[in-house]
Structure 1
Amino acid sequence: MWWCAAQLRRSYLVKTPEASTVVNLLLTRTVGSVNTSEMREKTFRICRDYLNGIWKMITPQEMVLKQVSGGMSNFLYYCALPPMAKPKQGEPSRVLVRFYGQIHGEGALEALLTESVIFTLLSERKLGPKLHGVFPGGRLEEFIPARPLKTKELSDPEISSIIAEKMAQVHSLDVPISKEPTWLWDTMKRWMSNMKATLGTEPTPQMDDKNDFIEKDLSSAMRAVLRWNLDTEMDWMRSYLTQLRSPVVFCHNDLQEGNILIRESAVTREEKLVIIDFEYCSYNYRGFDVANHFCEWMYDYTFDKYPKFNYNPEAMPSVEQKLYFIRCYLETVQRELGIDSCHKDPIQMSVDAGVKDELQLLREADCFMLASHFFWGLWAVVNAPVSSIPFGYWEYAEARFSAYFEHKQNLLGKYGEVIESIA
């Protein structure tokens, strides 16, 4: 389906790729209409009990029901009122019903609870889809008539400024979860262990657009990954990035075009973009979130031909584009945290404080691009043998690790092994 390439990288290892919130275009290519009376009765009962209003005046057979996605993780259904039924008390006319799938593995339940807390909090702050209800085994979500951003749209100045504002609002949240920045290193450590086991197995055959298995020699990509001493490299990277003392904030950790919806008919600037997919959210270094977003300007996951992604290093935002994003971000952080920007000497404040803050975050983002490349490189290697999606995981891993080492040399030439603080 058209949305797989844009969403697959957001999925955990055993998950079927799916959007956290569904867009209009998706409904024309759903898994299929659902006619089973059991599921129709179940979803209708949930909508009736949690939404009230006109939902109590229609029958299960009148409700529009379509299955959007289904897999080992979540089952998502689109439910809507029939055309002649109009809301009476402000209730929504269409929603998404999400049923949680099987919960397996160490920490899976904890991850589900954390994701639910995060979804609820972001819903209340209007930073994500509205939460209409929580029931045993699932939740009721807002349906957003929108589409995901395209990679090239990330460089649009207006869109970039809104993304910066949204990111700043997320970073300003006080979320009731562990605030230690262990997620990034713990995840990479776990994936590193999985990778060692992965490299001892044969890669999964890749499929072409016709779903026929094709022979593809992946040895070159595998050899490229094997020739790097990634264990030692990760230790060096952690030591190198720790020098930056990047502030720890609540991060999205995957703010790329597929996870940002643009509404079809937004009334206000605030409503124009909606952030989705909070499964990687955690307390993390702000430099990683900004750097990861900048890296996404270079990767297009809607590429038609194998390996199903396109890497364009020329699309990396310029220094001017980065600073524009950073200024919008910092201004929003000040507003969100209630920091008074007034000063007896505005010019002096601009030079001493504003510019220093901008350059500091610019440096953090520059250096944390290492972590973004490394993180998604490991992700690709671990997913390669277990995913049935026709995506060039090994090629993607090679691309990200190659970008990591190239960027490392650039950073060492610019800053050296020791990163001096900005005076």
Structure 2
Amino acid sequence: MVICTSVPVVIPKDGSLTKVTIKDIVGTFLTNEWPNIDPEQLTVTHNTGYANVNCVVERPRPKDYIHSEPLKVFLKIYGELDGEIEVFKHLVPNKHEETQLCFDYGQSGLGAKVYGFFQTQNGILGRVDEFLDARNLEPEDVEDMNIRADIARGLAVFHTMTTQLEKKPIQSYYDTVTRELAKYHHMDKLKTLANEGGVSMDHLVDYDFGSRLRRVTDKLESIGGKKGWCIHDFQFMNVMVKNNPMQGESKIVLLDFEFVFQNYRALDIGEHFVQKIFQWFDEESKIANCRPYIEEEKRHFCEEYARQWNEKTGDSDTGEQVFAESELGVLLAITFEIHNMLCFMDQDNDKDPLNILALNKLFEEFLSQYKRLELES
């Protein structure tokens, strides 16, 4: 059980950190060597995310003893809106629950270890995690069958993980997302914003996603689609590839569990396949210049996933079954992404043409997959 520890520091609302504050936080959890470090000797590399502050903290390698505590750690300060979409707030874990998820997954050897979870004197929450010698997953990585297999196995372990989270009915999510998509259906504001950005998306706004989404979930139920702890935000930036994995160790690590709740396992698998052609943090294009996942690669992924799922659950699923579910999961994943982007577009008055072009690409992928699966009939 992860306990939230009170630390005797104050962090400004902007998340700015002094080296003394950082040392005091880390030293609360790594108690043998870190408390004795001169704060001025720390090297701190800051990374500002969407709504949180992350930094890598490194101390000098000691000259007169062999260190027993890590030289580098990853420090995360939660922002007030970290990872939240208000309409899903009743489904997603709170920060304590998220930390417990990270801790549990870290115990599997497939995630970063959690050293501590804390709250400052002024109520700000944060985590101290293992620093990973790793890089973000790139599109060409999944064309390597070994990396692809590790991702499949890691995802199956996460989906089947034993956790203290409440298993909320998945229908609660589909009721919410269908209602919200209906709100954006025919919304003139979205059409106007897109046109002001120089890219029309009238066809997307006028498309009835809700009725199609119901057909997808009905089909999944009819083929026995299984459920698990889904990550939902399973983009490539949330998968790390280790630079120097040990012999026999998984090459990948999964990150960021702000959106975890029960759903069809197909959604995460389908999301992984779709996300290969998107690069959300690129400043020139959100659409990656690469080929999409091919069927042979998808089937290999599903075979590896099924093997790991069966090992964890005692089931006897086939790769073919998982593949059939994943084909429908692509549509679930795209609908989730489109909803979230329309939500942010509406609330932030976003008219960035790169985002709108990516929305249109998602829509194009949805139409193509929906037609191919012949769901209207």
If the length of structure 2 is used for normalisation, what is the TM-score?
A: 0.81
Answer with 394-403 or 177-186: which moved more: 177-186
1:300 deviation in Å?
4.2
Q: Relative to 1, partners in 2 of residues 1:203 and 1:67: Cα closer, same or farther, differing over 3 Å? A: farther
Taking the TM superposition and a 5 Å limit, the aligned residue runs for 1:286-301 are 286-301=265-280
Residue 322 of structure 2 corresponds to which residue in structure 1? 361
Q: Separation in 2 of the partners of 1:232 and 1:361?
A: 24
**Local SS of the residue matching 1:280:** coil
**Local SS of the residue matching 2:34:** helix
Query: Residue 362 of structure 2: which of 390, 393, 400 is its match?
Result: 400
Q: Separation in 1 of the partners of 2:77 and 2:56?
A: 12
Query: Which 5+ residue runs of structure 2 have no aligned equivalent?
Result: 1-15, 120-124
Matched, 1:148 2:126: no
Residue 98 of structure 1 corresponds to which residue in structure 2? 76
Q: Separation in 2 of the partners of 1:398 and 1:390?
A: 13
Matched, 1:284 2:246: no
Q: Separation in 1 of the partners of 2:302 and 2:191?
A: 44
Letter in structure 2 aligned against 1:323: R
Q: Separation in 1 of the partners of 2:101 and 2:351?
A: 28
Letter in structure 2 aligned against 1:252: I
Q: Relative to 1, partners in 2 of residues 1:389 and 1:59: Cα closer, same or farther, differing over 3 Å? A: farther
1:285 deviation in Å?
0.8
**Local SS of the residue matching 1:135:** strand
Check whether the contact 2:193–2:351 (CA below 8 A) recurs between aligned residues.
no
Q: Separation in 2 of the partners of 1:409 and 1:205?
A: 26
Letter in structure 1 aligned against 2:198: D
Answer with 231-240 or 365-374: which moved more: 231-240
Q: Separation in 2 of the partners of 1:86 and 1:96?
A: 25
**Local SS of the residue matching 2:40:** coil
Residue 41 of structure 1 corresponds to which residue in structure 2? 20
Query: Residue 247 of structure 1: which of 226, 229, 232 is its match?
Result: 226
Q: Separation in 2 of the partners of 1:86 and 1:286?
A: 51
1:246 deviation in Å?
0.7
Taking the TM superposition and a 5 Å limit, the aligned residue runs for 1:381-400 are 381-385=342-346, 386=348, 392-400=354-362
Matched, 1:119 2:102: yes
Deviations 1:25-64 (A, max 9, x none): xxxxxxxxxxx8x722221111222112221222222222
Q: Separation in 1 of the partners of 2:309 and 2:294?
A: 22
Residue 300 of structure 2 corresponds to which residue in structure 1? 324
If the length of structure 1 is used for normalisation, what is the TM-score?
A: 0.73
Q: Relative to 1, partners in 2 of residues 1:217 and 1:45: Cα closer, same or farther, differing over 3 Å? A: same
Deviations 1:38-96 (A, max 9, x none): 7222211112221122212222222222322266x322232211355677552111112
Q: Separation in 1 of the partners of 2:187 and 2:65?
A: 53
Q: Relative to 1, partners in 2 of residues 1:110 and 1:406: Cα closer, same or farther, differing over 3 Å? A: closer
Check whether the contact 2:197–2:353 (CA below 8 A) recurs between aligned residues.
no
Give the share of equivalent positions with the same residue, in percent: 19
1:233 deviation in Å?
3.2
Check whether the contact 1:383–1:393 (CA below 8 A) recurs between aligned residues.
no
Letter in structure 2 aligned against 1:77: C
Check whether the contact 2:156–2:305 (CA below 8 A) recurs between aligned residues.
yes
Q: Relative to 1, partners in 2 of residues 1:125 and 1:387: Cα closer, same or farther, differing over 3 Å? A: farther
How many matched pairs?
351
Check whether the contact 1:191–1:379 (CA below 8 A) recurs between aligned residues.
no
Q: Relative to 1, partners in 2 of residues 1:363 and 1:200: Cα closer, same or farther, differing over 3 Å? A: same
Residue 371 of structure 1 corresponds to which residue in structure 2? 332
Check whether the contact 1:51–1:91 (CA below 8 A) recurs between aligned residues.
yes
1:382 deviation in Å?
1.9
Root-mean-square deviation (Å): 3.2
